[in-house]
Amino acid sequence: MEGLIFSVKRYSVHDGPGIRVTFFMKGCPLSCRWCHNPEGISSLPEKTSRTNRVGGKSFIKEEEVGKYYTVDDILEICEKERLFTDRSGGGVTFSGGEPVMQPEFLLAALKALKKKGFNTAVDTSGYSPEKNFREILPYTDLFLFDLKHLSDDRHIELTGVSNRLILENFRLLAREAEAVMIRIPVIPGMNDDEGHLMKLRDYITSVNTGNIKKINLLPYHKIGSSKYRRFNMEWKMEGVEPPAGEKMKQMKEYFSQTGIKVKIGG
Ligand code: SF4
């Protein structure tokens, strides 16, 4: 069995506790306007080119984005970094794209990593059948769960899909997962109005059973915008600027009222 992965990041410090190895899996059922990993959306390998400049000359380098890995490949990569992951209280994270879109491979990889004593995390949009979440629950120490918008209509408008399945899975994990960290992308003019923030705060408070350990507020940034050209995709965020620091501080105060630790950034 193989999984399609578009990037492997060693020494990652933003995808869960400690130092981690993060596997970015290809394929995502959402198409968020602000996505900074658009190369993770298609569930097939893609060809692209990159222009490199050396000594005033330009060279075009062809690249294949997305490579198949076996579970043994995953274990081999993680064993090499074990000293750092173990000593820092870190582990291994599956992100994307949407890792739960490759459920069989993800389950097999998580089982194998747990058997070897690795701490495991899954960074998810929550959009996958409940059965897939139930299966990976026993082998996942931490879920990083994105909450984008509580209004279904607005969620469809911004991400292309309904939030119903996402919220059902969120409630499941808030009841049954060992630990959950919520990630809220803060997108000016799209999900940061006061009315929505208050609803989101109250929703999180009502669902929390004590295992939601942290809320990360992730300010929108434009770092991924150049990738849209490379992948022939339309950049729909023209004119949207990152949120002001003051706004982020205000949001931190709102969400602190849930009683959960809040951090600005990953
Ligand atoms: S869920 Fe994440 S990976 Fe998928 S489109 Fe949205 S931001 Fe991109």
Per-residue pLDDT of 43-85, as tens digits, reads 999 998 877 788 788 888 888 999 999 999 999 999 999 999 9
| Cα 157 from Cα 77, distance rounded (Å) | 39
Which residue out of 145, 159, 225 has the highest number of ligand 1 atoms within 8 Å of its CB and is therefore the one to mutate? 159
Cα(87) to centroid(ligand 1), Å = 31
Element (H, E) at 207: helix 194-207
Residue 60, beta-bridge partner list: 51
| Cα 258 from Cα 254, distance rounded (Å) | 8
Q: For ligand 1, atom 6, name the residue with the nearest CA.
A: 32
Determine the atom of ligand 1 nearest the C-alpha atom of 96. 3
| Cα 52 from Cα 74, distance rounded (Å) | 30
Who lines ligand 1 at CB under 6 A? 28, 30-32, 35, 37, 40-41, 96-98, 125
pLDDT tens-digit map of 219-257: 999 888 888 888 888 899 999 999 999 999 999 999 999
251: left (phi over 0), alpha (psi -120 to 50) or beta: alpha
**Domain 2-42+64-264 CATH (choose: 3.20.20.70, 3.40.50.2300, 2.40.10.340, 3.30.70.560):** 3.20.20.70
Mean pLDDT of 13-31: 97
Pairing of strands 142-146, 20-25: unpaired
Phi, psi (rounded to 5 degrees) for 72:
-65, -35
pLDDT at 189: 95
Cα(34) to centroid(ligand 1), Å = 8
pTM over 0.85: yes
DSSP, residue by residue, 71-130: HHHHHHHHHHTHHHHHHTT-EEEEEES-GGGSHHHHHHHHHHHHHTT--EEEEE-S-S-H
Cα(27) to centroid(ligand 1), Å = 9
Determine the atom of ligand 1 nearest the C-alpha atom of 159. 6
